[in-house]
Homo-oligomer: A and B are copies of this chain.
Amino acid sequence: MTETNNILIKDTTIISDDIKKSSILIVDDTIQEISSSLTEKDAENVIDGTNKITMPGLINTHSHVAMTLLRGVGDDQSLQTWLNDYIWPKEAKLNDELVYLGSKLAMAEMIKTGTTTFNDMYFYMEETAKAVDESGMRAVLGYGMIDLFDEEKMKSELKVSEQLIKNCHMTCEDRVTVAVAPHAPYTCSEELLIKSKELADKHDLKYHIHVSETKQEVNDISKDKGKTPFEYLNDIGVLSSDTIAAHGVWTTQDEMKILKEKEVSVAHNPSSNMKLASGIAPVNEYLKNDINVSIGTDGVSSNNNLDMFSEMKLTAFLQKVNLLDPRVLPTQDTFNMATKNGANALGLNTGIIEVGKLADIILVDTLVPHMTPVRNALSNIIYSSLGTDVDTVICNGKILLENKELLTINEQEIIQEVNERAFEL
């Protein structure tokens, strides 16, 4: 990692709430000044921002990053076959070393495609925290609790979460925070869901949960509880502004009202919802109802990559074609979903390029054929760019990617190790 106290990004096109030409001064972990009159004398490190688009680092609000090891497992299967015959048997063989390795590979991929923050739910999360520490990224990490309605299992799952909070919350210069993460209403007992909420409240943590992903889930919960998933979660008192509900595909109008009232955030996962054929989430309706909706990639085996640029394009495209209206999800709305809405969901002081915000910033190269000409920088970012156009990544004021080269991860070493060890699963 290039150690640096201050960085000047000079003469660049900045996209955030608007598009402007300016320069940015970063001091320590913070954006100190944005001004065209900044000069090279103002900083030790100067990054030439000409012919680059400078924007907030992307925020992936729903991931299972160590699943990179399962890339390509169980494609084109029905959801139950995919889980029962492919994913769960392999996940049963996971261990701490493999989760560390898969997390490190994911971070190489995420940094190279412009993601600076991710919100993860998985197992052996201390290992993912170790990889975050080394990579220089920012993350919210939750242990995915599943008790399958067994009381002993519930207690042991909560203990794992408590341990994770103790070990990792507010570590790595505060780049790592911990969330409480009960898997879903159909895999967790009511008691686990409630005790998870108590645990989150006790430590002032986020509550990360899968909700309303498939029609099957909605049918099952409705049959079992006599209400829809969000109604059920609301009735047991676990929804609040700390909730990050992943998916929200089959949300009803009545549930929309609950989400708005309780200020729940929804993490939309377009690739995963399309690949697993879960359905098309009512993203435009969420936005119309002022519900905070952000974007996630979900795990790699239902995607199959972690490129948030693809997710932005898909988010806009899917709403347009589904509503047969090309005007919905204009570029700024989509951009906000992948940046500041994500920061809102996770409660982080980032996701926007503004004085006083944490310096999580990426630079995207425009001197490539598919980004030429730049008539509208925001349009090119949403509709034309590929994740690999990212040239520079700064997180928490540190440079993690420079001229497309990773500074904190030995990329080829990780690739080789994964190629040797992934097949243990």
- Chain A residue total in the interface (Cβ 8 A): 74
Contact call B331/A75, Cβ cutoff below 8 A: yes
Query: Please, which residues of chain B bring their CB within 8 A of the CB of A82?
Result: 326
**Bitwise interface map of A from 291 to 315 toward B, beta carbon under 8 Å scored 1, else 0:** 0000000001001111100100110
Can you name 19 extra interface pairs (CB under 8 A) apart from A78-B327, A105-B369, A112-B368?
A: A68-B372, A69-B373, A71-B372, A71-B379, A72-B374, A75-B379, A112-B369, A112-B370, A274-B317, A276-B326, A279-B321, A300-B384, A306-B370, A367-B412, A367-B415, A369-B411, A372-B419, A372-B422, A375-B422
Quote the shortest CB–CB distance from A213 to chain B (angstroms). 13
Chain A residues 83-133 with CB under 8 Å of chain B are 105-106, 108-109, 112-113
Give every chain B residue within 8 A of A415 (Cβ-Cβ): 367-369, 372
Q: Which residues of A133-167 have CB atoms within 8 Å of chain B's CB atoms?
A: none
A388 part of interface (Cβ distance < 8 Å): yes
A194 sits at the interface (CB 8 A): no
Whether A373 pairs with B418 at a CB distance below 8 angstroms is yes
Choose from B77, B215, B280 the contact partner of A321 (Cβ within 8 Å): B280
Which residues of B are found within 8 Å of A280, using beta-carbon distances?
Answer: 321
Complex interface: chain B residues within 8 A of A77 (CB) = 326-327
User: Could you tell me the distance between the alpha carbons of A71 and B193 in the complex, rounded to whole angstroms?
Assistant: 49
With A373-B418, A422-B373 known to touch, is A380 a contact of B72 (CB < 8 Å)? yes
Distance, CA A412 to CA B372, complexed state (A): 11
Max count, chain B CB within 10 A of own CB: residue among A79, A329, A419: A419
* CB atoms of B384 and A305 under 8 A apart: yes
Does A232 belong to the interface (CB within 8 Å)? no
A59 to B76 CA separation, bound complex (whole angstroms)? 24
Encoded as 1 (CB less than 8 Å from any B CB) or 0, chain A from 275 to 293 comes to 1111110000000000000
Q: Which 6 A-B pairs have the closest CB atoms?
A: A274-B317, A109-B369, A304-B383, A72-B375, A72-B379, A373-B422
